[in-house]
Chain A
Amino acid sequence: MKQLQIAIESTTLANGLKVVIAPETTAPVVTIGVYYKIGFRLEPKGRSGFAHLFEHMMFQGSANAPKMQHIKLINSSGGVLNGSTHYDVTNYYEAVPSNALERVLWLEADRMRALKVDDENLRNQRDVVKEEVRVNVLNQPYGGFPWLDLPPVAFRNWANSHNFYGDFTDLDAADLSDVFTFFKTYYVPNNAVLLILGDVKPEEGFALAKKLFADIPAGPPPPFADPTEPEQNEERRGHVEEKFGTLPAIAIGYVVPKRRTADWCAMALLDQALHGGRAGKLYRELVLEKQVAVELDGGIDDIFGYNGPTQMVTRIMHKPEFTGETAMAAFDQVIREIQENGISEDELAQLKVKWQSDFVSLLENGHGGMPRYGLMHLLACFTLFDNEPQLVNSILDGFLAVKREEIQAAARKYLVKEKRAIVFRTPTASSAKEAA
Chain B
Amino acid sequence: MATPAVEVNSAVPGLSAERQVTWPKRQRVRLSNGLDVILVESHTIPKFHGELFLRSGNATVIERGPGLAEMTATVLRTGTSKRVSRQIEEDLRRLGADLSSYAGADTSAISFAGLSEFAEPLLGLVDELARDAAFPEAEFERERRQKLEEVKLSRTEPGFLAGERLRKVLFGAHPYGVVSPSEEQVAAYKRDDLLGVYRDFYTPENALLVLVGDFQPGAMLKSVEKVFGAWQGKKPVPSVFASPANPRSRHVYLVHQPGAVQTQILAGCHAITRRHPDWVKLGLTNSLYGGAFNSRLVMNIREDKGYTYSPRSGVNALRQHGYFSVSAAVRNDVVAASLTEIFYEMDKLRSLPVPEPELADAQNYLSGVFSMGLATQGGLLGQIAVVALNELPDDYLETYRAKVRALTPADLLETARKYLDSANMQIVVVGDRAQIESQAALFGELEVFDAQGKHLR
Contact = CB atoms under 8 A, between A and B. Distances in A.
Contacts of B145: 291, 294, 319
A75 B92 CA distance: 40
A354 interface: yes
B293 A81 contact: yes
B96 A357 contact: yes
B17 interface: yes
A371 B376 contact: yes
B117 A99 contact: no
Given A28-B371, A246-B156, A76 B294 contact: yes
A1 B11 contact: no
Nearest to A245: B156
B153 A246 contact: yes
B394 interface: no
Interface string A215-235: 000000000000000000000
Contact of A64 (B9, B156, B292, B302): B9
A284 B86 CA distance: 8
B326 interface: no
Output the residue of B116, B156, B307, B451 with the most chain A CB within 10 A: B156
Contacts of A69: 6, 8-9
Interface stretch (A130-138, A334-342, A413-421): A130-138
A396 interface: no
Nearest to A357: B96
B146 A294 contact: yes
Nearest to B78: A288
Nearest to A199: B19
Contacts of B89: 277-279, 284
B361 interface: yes
A68 B299 contact: yes
A291 B149 CA distance: 13
Contact of A106 (B13, B92, B258, B374): B13
Contacts of A80: 293, 369, 372
A374 to B, nearest CB: 10
Interface stretch (B41-49, B314-322, B416-424): B41-49
A280 to B, nearest CB: 9
Given A100-B15, A141-B157, A132 B364 contact: no
B101 to A, nearest CB: 12
B44 A135 contact: no
B306 A78 contact: no
A245 B153 contact: yes
B46 A2 contact: yes
Range, interface on chain A = 35 or more
Given A124-B304, A279-B89, A28 B261 contact: no
A431 B376 contact: no
A124 B18 contact: no
A371 B375 contact: yes
A409 interface: no
Contacts of B44: 24, 26, 364
A4 B117 CA distance: 14
Contacts of A363: 45
A370 B379 CA distance: 10
A239 interface: no
A365 B45 CA distance: 10
Contacts of A214: none
Interface of B: 3, 6, 8-9, 11-21, 42-47, 85-86, 89-90, 92-98, 113-117, 142, 145-146, 149-150, 152-153, 155-158, 257-262, 292-294, 299, 302-310, 329-331, 360-362, 364-365, 367-369, 371-372, 374-379, 451
Given A28-B21, A69-B8, A103-B13, 19 more contacts: A29-B371, A67-B6, A68-B299, A76-B294, A77-B15, A102-B13, A127-B306, A132-B310, A135-B309, A140-B158, A141-B156, A244-B257, A245-B156, A246-B152, A277-B93, A294-B146, A357-B115, A366-B372, A366-B376
22 contacts: A1-B115, A26-B43, A64-B11, A68-B303, A73-B12, A78-B369, A97-B368, A106-B11, A123-B306, A128-B302, A128-B306, A131-B309, A139-B158, A139-B329, A198-B375, A244-B259, A353-B115, A361-B113, A363-B45, A364-B45, A370-B372, A434-B451
